[in-house]
Structure 1
Amino acid sequence: MNDRQEQWQAAEQLALVLTEGGLQRMSARTLAMFLFTDQETVTMGDIADRLGVSAGSVSGAVKSLLSVGLIERLPAPGSRREHYRMRDDAWATLFTSQNTVIQIMLQAARKGIAATAPGDPAHQRLIQMHDFYQFMLGEIPALLDRWQQQRLPRPD
């Protein structure tokens, strides 16, 4: 087995672990592909070809990874296809306000709070949900600053 085959085998193993951890199978395989690719950017067609699946099945996975901030869409002048890459700050972004899932959770909590009466147990649970996400978003900048300060360049 050559080095590329070993890498893709490792990518598929990682995808299995991510799936066991709760990530949807196609999202896990797509994330593993982004982690292991040597290409600067990829299209949905590239992902589908690499994974041996239909482009349609990749669409939801890409949307999911975009929504949590792990990948980003890039302009590709002269190309009719959208190009994507893993964000340089992917893991930090996963926990910031740029993560649309966190924003959706906050918005849902706000709407739920507005729709329920004070004293209602649902109202209290929704306040806790909202306060938790607000607290996390408030704490994350300091945590990310510490992360950046402790990071040391690693040799290749």
Structure 2
Amino acid sequence: MTGETERREAAEQLALTLVGAGMQRMGARAIAAFLFSEEESLTAGDLAQELGVSAGSVSGAIKMVAQMGLIERIYVAGSRREHFRMRDNAWTTLYSRQHSVVTDVLDAVEKGVGAVGPGRAHDRLEYMRDFYTFLINEAPMLVERFEQQRRGEPRS
């Protein structure tokens, strides 16, 4: 197996894993292509060529991945095409955006706790509320500890 073949297979395996976790197939393949690319940026045409699909079929994937906060549009001097690149802090950006979804879930669960009387439903909702409250409170500290570790700083 050549290095290029191994790279492509690893990218496809990552995409399949993301699909298994609930992501749309083309979006997962686009993320994998950006992650495995040595290029500073990719255009829709570059992405289509890498994935072996039409340029039109990647436009929705680019939009989805950009909305997730993983890629950003950049200006490339002398090019008329739109270029995209992985964000430097793509994963902490994604995690932070998911944080707002957790907040929405927490708000809905809190209403549920108030809507039911004592009993099993109340206990389950209360447990869920407590769990999401814990996540909301711990997440910023986890991201900060991760960033400190990446910078090589000692743990506080």
- Using structure 1 for the length normalisation, give the TM-score: 0.71
Q: List per-residue Cα deviations over 1:22-50 (Å, max 9, x = no partner).
A: 11100111111011111111001100011
How much is the aligned-residue C-alpha RMSD, in angstroms? 3.1
Q: What's the CA shift for 1:105?
A: 8.6
Q: Distance in 2 between matches of 1:68 and 1:47?
A: 18
Q: Secondary structure at the match of 1:94?
A: helix
**Corresponding position of 2:33:** 33
Change over 3 Å in CA distance of 1:84–1:4 after alignment to 2: same
- Find the counterpart in structure 2 of residue 116 from structure 1: none
Determine the structure 1 residue equivalent to 2:42. Answer: 42
The DSSP-based 3-state class of the residue aligned with 2:95 is coil
Question: Match for 2:143: what amino acid?
Answer: L
Q: Partner of 2:42: helix, strand, or coil? A: coil
List aligned pairs for 1:12-91, cutoff 5 A.
12-91=12-91
- Per residue, is there more helix in 1 or in 2? 2
What residue identity is the alignment partner of 1:18?
A: L
Question: Partner amino acid for 1:31?
Answer: I
What is the distance in 2 between the residues matched to 1:78 and 1:106? 43
Q: What secondary structure does 1:95 align onto?
A: helix
Number of corresponding residues: 141
> Which structure 1 segments of 5+ residues have no match?
113-118
Q: Identify the residue that residue 115 of structure 1 maps to in structure 2.
A: none
CA distance in 1, matches of 2:84, 2:136: 26
Identity of aligned residues (%): 49
